[in-house]
């Protein structure tokens, strides 16, 4: 099993450009999450999907959109990148409301110039 995979690992964008971060899990988990991690602020939830076909906003959804393409894949899109979106992005999945252990992807380091 690959667990949770994310692409790309690194990305540099110019202000106003768009991009999609891809996430996939092969553990048949219902719940998937997108977080951003900034120095001194801990992990903050951007969007989550409790099951295939549903998505909900987290703490910091502005400037982002998501798609739960199927049970395996959950993508995060930045329509018009801003320097404030420079961060490390993590995708995670879990069996919640089952055992609730979260499995994280390796992260994407995004810089917006």
Partner 1 sequence: KNEVEQSPQNLTAQEGEFITINCSYSVGISALHWLQQHPGGGIVSLFMLSSGKKKHGRLIATINIQEKHSSLHITASHPRDSAVYICAVRPKPPFNTDKLIFGTGTRLQVFP
Residues engaged in binding partner 1 (CB under 8 A): 31, 33, 40-45, 48, 50, 56, 58, 88, 90, 92, 96, 99-104, 106-107, 109
CB of 70 to partner 1, least distance (A): 20
Tokens, residue 71: 């049970």
Which residue carries 């939830």 as its tokens?
Answer: 45
Q: How far is the CB of 20 from partner 1 (least distance, A)?
A: 21
Question: ∠ at Cα 18 (15, 22), nearest 5°?
Answer: 130
Report the nearest approach of partner 1 to the CB of residue 50 (Å): 6
**Measured between alpha carbons, how far is 68 from 112 in angstroms, rounded to an integer?**
25
Nearer to partner 1, 14 or 40 (CB): 40
Q: Which is nearer to partner 1, 19 or 45 (by Cβ)?
A: 45
Sequence-distant (6+) residues with CB within 8 A of 3 are 25, 26, 27, 103, 105
């Amino acid at each position: 099993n690959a667990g949770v995979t994310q692409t790309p690992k690194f990305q540099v964008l110019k202000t106003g450009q768009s991009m999609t971060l891809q996430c996939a899990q092969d553990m048949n988990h219902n719940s998937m999450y997108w977080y951003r991690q900034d120095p001194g602020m801990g992990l903050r939830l951007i969007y989550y999907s409790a099951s295939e076909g549903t998505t909900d906003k987290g703490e910091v959804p502005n400037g982002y959109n998501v798609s739960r393409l199927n049970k395996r894949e959950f993508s995060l899109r930045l329509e018009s990148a801003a320097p404030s979106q420079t961060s490390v992005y993590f995708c995670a999945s879990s069996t919640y409301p089952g055992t609730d252990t979260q499995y994280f992807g390796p992260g994407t380091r995004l810089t917006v110039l």
